[in-house]
Structure 1
Amino acid sequence: MPADGLDDIHDLTQRLLKAEMRVIDGLIHTLESSKTQRSADEQVITSTILLMLQSMGVSLHSITKLTGTVDMSVKDCFSISRNVVEAAINVAYIATSDVGVAQRAQAHALQKRFRDFNRSGEIAGTRISVGYDNPPEMESIQGLKDALELFTDKNGKEIRDWSPATQNEKIEQVQLVSEQAALSLAGAKFAIYRHSSEILHGTYFGTIYFWTRDNGEPVTRDTFKEHWTNSLLMSVFTGAFFAGLGAVEACAERFNLQSSIENVKALRAELESKLQTN
């Protein structure tokens, strides 16, 4: 592909991610400003997902910064893009479920923070302990006793996952409310999970992925920009962008937010228009 074509793709990803950040900000503002007009259960759901949406926006901003120039900073964007995907799936799952799921997420956070006051474990034969001198009493924190019981198994060990549902099961729940959101999340997960896992786990494959082309040939100075744009950047972009769409679509359908629905349609239209011209 000619260099100007690669530049066009790069510019498009930057523009769409920044536009998506504004859409998420708009969703946050709408949810926050209308929170008191909703039922008690919906207020619990909204209060749970607001900061999660904000966190997604922060990560999208990081991706635009790290991919602003064509260099190896894109490597770290794989883990960031995966974080956006996982957060988006959780946001959409909480938004499209009954209030019990949001309450479980809050209980998980409550007991997790309390357990951090006194942590211990054994790694490769070495016992490691970290603790606070004067941690708060369990009885002084409302709801903590129930939260600890919820996330402790019959052997007294911590249940680490906040939800028993798998990622696919969460997307299936989202599908009951919004098929489009579920499709966006599924596509985002497929785009980033395989390679981000190898990178996060520090495998040899995860390392050479950045220095070899799809056919196994080494990336040279002449082929680096094309490899960076068509392979590395597009994986990161696809995961993060469609995850963001999925989260917004799920929230918009759940809370009947027409402005957010229209904003997502505009993002899709811009992407589709560009794809049709290439």
Structure 2
Amino acid sequence: MDTEELPLLDALRGLAMLQQEFLRLALFVASEGPATFEGEELTCTLGDGQRRTSTFLAMAAGQSLETLLHMAKLRGIPVRDAYPVARSAIESFVNASYLLAESDNVAARAIRYIDFAAWRHHNRKFGSGEFSIEVRSDPDPRATLTQEYPEFSGKGNGSWTSLDVPSRIRRVGELAGRRSGLRLLAAYGLIYSLSSEIIHGSPFGASYFYSAHLKGERTTEAFQAATVSHLEEIFIGVLHAGCGYLAAFFGHQNMRAPLNAEEMIFARLLELSTKPSSSFPPAMPQAADTEGEQ
């Protein structure tokens, strides 16, 4: 098997930066207008609601990926905080893919939800029993809910979608193609549950971060090396999600040239993620000194 020139983490970072260029292309076509790639004119054909909602979510996902690119320099305990960022990127890519693939009616509800959620944030009750707090800016929130946001009133109607994440991924696969659905599903399986454990501060979440990839060693150096493995699995998961979104955006609109480019990125991702560790030189044991960087 061929030996790679770069450590796995560096190779994944490079692939992520390439993927970001195609995300920028998709965002440009969706928000600014037609563009040409490899001789093919790319024109967004999404409905206005689909285009608006999916674009700003995909942009948010791309920003989280930029944050992860900076965090790739970290070693040790700070790496733990990369999991919530990765979770945000993956779920944003899933939701962006879902909204561009679904009907404009689904997107319209998502747009309405923005105003509703902003209002609800200032008119809610939280806590348990005597340890409860009620926040209210509206003198009659019940009337406002009924009159202004009737589609969100009633039990089980308070969200922008009734589908859970796996069901949204299923819909992407049904509407935008198996390629996009399977990439998003892989990202979900790689990161979602682990990041939930870490985000919610569960005992397993703490144990997993501090013990996974250690291989029985209990030294500072071994722990720092193990956090490189955490970063590698995070990038593999987020890259799957980014490929899923690009496959949905380009595939759903029959943009062949960038869709072929996405396939090449994904093929390289599979190649990197399935090679044995012996194929890669070791990663830097600790982050380079970044003092003085802007």
TM-score category, normalised to shorter length: 0.7 to 0.9
| Displacement of 1:273 | 5.0
Supply the AA of the counterpart residue of 1:63. Answer: L
Distance 1:38 1:250 in 2: 13
Point out 4+ residue stretches in structure 1 off by more than 4 angstroms: 4-7, 131-135, 144-147, 272-277
Residue number in structure 2 paired with 1:242: 240
**Could you tell me whether the CA contact under 8 Å between 1:219 and 1:227 is conserved in 2?**
no
1:215–1:109 distance in 2 versus 1, CA, 3 Å = same
1:224–1:215 distance in 2 versus 1, CA, 3 Å = closer
Which one of 250, 253, 256 corresponds to residue 255 of structure 1? 253
Is 1:87 matched with 2:88?
A: no
1:113–1:271 distance in 2 versus 1, CA, 3 Å = same
1:123-162 alignment runs, 5 A limit = 123=128, 125-132=130-137, 148-153=149-154, 159-162=157-160
Instruction: Spell out, residue by residue over 1:78-105, the C-alpha distance to the aligned partner (whole angstroms, 9 max, x if none).
Output: 1111111111111111111111111111
1:1-278 alignment runs, 5 A limit = 8-34=7-33, 42-123=47-128, 125-132=130-137, 148-153=149-154, 159-176=157-174, 177-213=176-212, 217=216, 219-230=218-229, 232-274=230-272, 278=279
Distance 2:254 2:228 in 1: 37
1:52–1:12 distance in 2 versus 1, CA, 3 Å = same
| Displacement of 1:256 | 2.2
Instruction: Spell out, residue by residue over 1:217-244, the C-alpha distance to the aligned partner (whole angstroms, 9 max, x if none).
Output: 46423422442233x1122112211111
TM-score normalised per structure 2: 0.78
1:214–1:225 distance in 2 versus 1, CA, 3 Å = closer
| Displacement of 1:131 | 4.4
**Could you tell me whether the CA contact under 8 Å between 1:49 and 1:91 is conserved in 2?**
yes
**Could you tell me whether the CA contact under 8 Å between 2:214 and 2:222 is conserved in 1?**
no
Distance 2:86 2:121 in 1: 27
Which range moves more in the overlay, 109-118 or 55-64? 109-118
Secondary structure of 1:160's aligned partner: coil
Secondary structure of 1:49's aligned partner: helix
- RMSD across aligned C-alpha pairs, in angstroms? 3.1
Instruction: Spell out, residue by residue over 1:136-190, the C-alpha distance to the aligned partner (whole angstroms, 9 max, x if none).
Output: xx99xxxx97761111116xxx733321112222111111221111110010000
1:229–1:254 distance in 2 versus 1, CA, 3 Å = same
Instruction: Spell out, residue by residue over 1:101-144, the C-alpha distance to the aligned partner (whole angstroms, 9 max, x if none).
Output: 11111121121112234333334523323344999xx99xxxx9
Residue number in structure 1 paired with 2:290: none
Secondary structure of 2:209's aligned partner: coil
Gaps of 5+ in 1: none
Distance 1:219 1:147 in 2: 58
Gaps of 5+ in 2: 35-42, 280-294
**Could you tell me whether the CA contact under 8 Å between 1:152 and 1:159 is conserved in 2?**
yes
**Could you tell me whether the CA contact under 8 Å between 1:211 and 1:218 is conserved in 2?**
no
Among all aligned residue pairs of Structure 1 and Structure 2, give the percentage whose two residues are the same amino acid.
Answer: 21
1:227–1:6 distance in 2 versus 1, CA, 3 Å = farther
Supply the AA of the counterpart residue of 1:150. Answer: E
1:130–1:5 distance in 2 versus 1, CA, 3 Å = farther
Supply the AA of the counterpart residue of 1:79. Answer: P
Instruction: Spell out, residue by residue over 1:9-62, the C-alpha distance to the aligned partner (whole angstroms, 9 max, x if none).
Output: 121122122222222111100112338x766x7122101111111100110011
TM-score normalised per structure 1: 0.82
Distance 1:272 1:97 in 2: 28
The number of equivalent residue pairs is 264
Secondary structure of 2:124's aligned partner: strand
1:134–1:257 distance in 2 versus 1, CA, 3 Å = farther
Instruction: Spell out, residue by residue over 1:221-277, the C-alpha distance to the aligned partner (whole angstroms, 9 max, x if none).
Output: 3422442233x1122112211111101111111222334313312322433454569
Distance 1:88 1:74 in 2: 22
